[in-house]
Amino acid sequence: MDYTEQMVKTASPAKLIEMLYQRAVELLDMAERDVKNKEYVKANEEIQKCQDIITELNLSLDLEKGGEIAKNLRALYTYMFKTLVEANTKKDVEKIREVRGYLSELLETWREAMKNVGNTASKVPDPNRPRLNVSL
């Protein structure tokens, strides 16, 4: 088991969300670079991995407990996924940047929220909670 796998297996749910946002931003940075360099196969793979992350984030939402915030996140995740489909099809750097901007904002907001709550609610993972199924 490598270092990243170990981090994922031992991370709290809150930390996993942070890691997913961070990885999605990194993937879109690489995808933008690869589109600019006309390395479309690599860009395609990176965009698809980012879409996998967005799908997992979307599936992890609890619409009952999350209320309006969860519904708004679902709409945003759906929009970002569709925008990445278009970005990938058209090799559109602006669309990649748009989604990266949303993900960067979500990452920073998530980090601030975790600081504000002291992350105490998430220190011990709930063994009954489904684990996110995505590779970083």
pLDDT in tens, 74-130: 999 999 999 999 999 999 999 999 999 999 999 999 999 999 887 455 455 555 555
Name the average pLDDT for the chain: 88
pLDDT in tens, 19-53: 999 999 999 999 999 999 999 999 999 999 999 99
Are 27 and 80 in contact, with CB atoms under 8 Å apart?
no
Q: How far is CA 56 from the centre of its chain?
A: 8
Give the C-alpha separation, 26 to 37, whole Å. 17
User: Which tokens in the block code for residue 38?
Assistant: 């006309």
- Which of 6-10, 120-124, 131-135 bottoms out in mean pLDDT, i.e. has the lowest? 120-124
pTM of the model: 0.82
Whole-number pLDDT of residue 53:
98
Assigned CATH for 12-117: 1.20.120.340
Coil vs helix vs strand at 11: coil
